[in-house]
Structure 1
Amino acid sequence: MRRGLIWSAAGLAAVAAAGLFVTRAVPDETDGLAALTGDVANGEVVFIASGCASCHAADDAEGDAKRVLTGGHRLASDFGTFVAPNISMDATHGIGDWTLDDFATALRAGVSPDGQHYYPAFPYASYAGMTDQDVVDLWAFMQTLPADATPSAPHDIGFPFNIRRAVGVWKTLYLNDDWVVTDVPSPELERGRYLVEVLAHCGECHTPRDALGGLDRAAWMAGAPNPSGRGTIPALTPDELTWSAADVAYYLETGFTPDFDSAGGSMADVVTNFAQLSASDRQAVAAYIKALPR
């Protein structure tokens, strides 16, 4: 009986150790960052393409106020409501006391400076594919933005989803930097893939999710329920979206569809961002969309 208890205790200890290993917070690989010099101008492009202000500026912000990343935007989901934090340069309530390594680890690994998991409402699963140079450039641009002392609001999520350690299991299942579309035979398609799959994180809304909230990559860009519970996010696959590449590029610039409708809701923010990018970037996204399978 004593031997059985010993083996049982050993088994429980092994299970606990495995659980701690799987759920640990793993930092980003940052060894190459220190050798790079940040380009503020490109960092601004990365900031705009990534939609940082769309979540982290105050909901009523306009003009220059959209560069004050005070947080507060609420993101509804099946797991609760997540609230975007203050990521301004305030050292107390924002990220002003972070290092470049802290920033890269948050952005690409979803881990805070104190070693806690961020919830994947922060689209680090997409940003995981961001290049070292773009990370450094974005950080250089962030240094130019104003500080704001507004405290971050807490998330509104209940048990068991409020157990941050469990996010490590989610990351084991879903966090990687693999491309969804692997065949990109031209520089334009390569740029479009990077914009769609990484910076603009389009798949986070336009791709359905499984029961654990992971993207169903087998149904990439096939449309999904709106997390707010109102309607659906449309499919962008060629069998559903019949627009030409020129139509897509024009929509990203102006918000107007070929049917004379206009972008609304969160897509209006996306158009605001893409309208500030180059025409070649909008064309690259359109080319990628038209090259999707199905």
Structure 2
Amino acid sequence: MRLRTLSITGLLLVLAGAALFYVLTMPQRLDAAAIAPEDSGDVARGETMFWAGGCVSCHAPSKATGEDQLKLGGGDPLVTDFGTFHAPNISPDPTDGIGAWSLADFANAMQRGVAPDGSHLYPAFPYTSYVKMKPQDVADLYAFMKTLPPVSGKAPANELSFPFNIRRGLGLWKLAFMDDGDPIVPLTADTKDPVHRGRYLVEGPGHCGQCHSPRTLFGAGGIDTSRWLAGAPNPEGEGMIPNITPGSKEVGAWSADELAEYFATGFTPEFDSVGGRMVDVQENLAKLSDADRQAIAAYLKAVPPQP
């Protein structure tokens, strides 16, 4: 009888644990009030968000140029310590891409990491930064992306080992590390407007901190905002992503104008040229307006210096 009681108790504990896991890992979608009206997007403004967000860098074919950059069927695999991630097809193809998505579907993927079918998206897709985007900017980006050429074919499945291959578990990760959307660097009321615009572009659509800031929990957690933009290990295993705060011995010595020129041309004040993964980022930034590049530079000069 005692053994039977223990067995029943154990079973009940397992069921209770499973129920708790199910509840805690349920996808959390945006409130309807946090999503812009369905047809409110502006294509021209959306193109700015597109280049600021660097969609091409992950979702376009490797080394694509010209119009091929706008064919977003999936790019190079991202090989990390947790496994290999493959960026999905985000072209307007209605079967293999996002052509059948509503604006609400798109916004929930961008800002909650939730796919239309309710599955969690991996944070290799930087929705923890996109959560800071304004609803109208998300709608504008959606409107622009609907104008891009459809691409057929799905990207390969991610190649992840246990437990990282359990998508449902990402619900627990989000509970622990999902950004609340508040700015990371506080600015005073008398801070000049370009710095505010730069903060929005860097912390939100530009998601610069995803690479340039270290992560908590041995690299698997959220961004360590106490070391914001102070540099971090390369997620692909080779070298370091540099410190881009005013405390950096290299970038910190550049003026705001020199930073903006680097974004526009790819040349440093020492006449060196951009290299590595930053090539793609710089080419995206070159497509922004001079005012936006100056705003990004002004913000980077205003962030707290990190050694």
Aligned residues of 1:50 and 1:199 also touching (Cα < 8 A): yes
Match of 1:136 in 2: 139
Over the matched positions of the two proteins, sequence identity in percent amounts to: 50
Find the counterpart in structure 1 of residue 291 from structure 2: 280
Letter in 2 for 1:59: S
- Tell me the residue number matched to 1:112: 115
Normalization by structure 1: what TM-score?
Answer: 0.95
CA contact (8 A) 2:38 2:139 kept: no
Q: What is the CA-CA distance between 1:11 and the residue it aligns to?
A: 4.2
Question: Does residue 181 in structure 1 map to residue 181 in structure 2?
Answer: no
Secondary structure (helix, strand or coil) at the match of 2:204 reads helix
Could you tell me whether the CA contact under 8 Å between 1:76 and 1:228 is conserved in 2?
Answer: yes
Pick aligned residue for 1:255 from 244, 258, 266:
266
Q: Does residue 291 of the first structure (1) align with residue 302 of the second (2)?
A: yes
The separation in 2 between residues aligned to 1:17 and 1:83, in whole angstroms, is: 31
The DSSP-based 3-state class of the residue aligned with 2:46 is helix
Q: Which residue of 2 aligns with 1:21?
A: 23
Give unpaired runs (5+ residues) of structure 1.
Answer: none
Displacement of 1:18 in angstroms is: 2.3
The one-character-per-residue Cα deviations of 1:23-47 (angstroms, maximum 9, x if unpaired) are: 1111122334227611110001111
Task: Give the one of 50, 55, 58 matched to 1:55.
Answer: 58
In structure 2, what is the Cα distance between the partners aligned to 1:270 and 1:60? 13
Equivalence map 1:1-294=2 (5 Å): 1=2, 9-31=11-33, 32-34=35-37, 37-176=40-179, 177-184=181-188, 185-210=191-216, 211=218, 212-240=220-248, 241-294=252-305
Deviation at 1:10, TM superposition (A): 4.6
Task: Give 5+ residue unaligned stretches, structure 2.
Answer: none
* Secondary structure in structure 1 of the residue aligned to 2:85: strand
Q: CA deviation at 1:245?
A: 1.1
The question of whether the paired residues in 2 share the 8 Å contact of 1:30 and 1:104 is answered with no
Could you tell which deviates more after superposition, 33-42 or 164-173?
33-42
1:77 CA drift (Å) = 1.7
**Cα contact 1:88–1:148 (8 A) shared by 2:** yes
Alpha-carbon shift at residue 134 of structure 1 (Å): 0.4
Taking the aligned partners of 1:244 and 1:76, their CA distance within structure 2 comes to 35
Q: Indicate if the aligned counterparts of 1:72 and 1:153 stay in contact, CA closer than 8 A.
A: no
Q: 1:12 to 1:293 in 2, by over 3 A?
A: same
CA distance in 2, matches of 1:186, 1:18: 48
SS of residue matched to 2:61: coil
Does the 8 A contact of 1:36 with 1:133 survive in 2?
Answer: no
1:192 is paired with a residue whose SS is helix
SS at match of 1:101: helix
Tell me if structure 1 keeps the 8 A contact 2:38–2:102. no
Q: CA RMSD in A?
A: 1.7
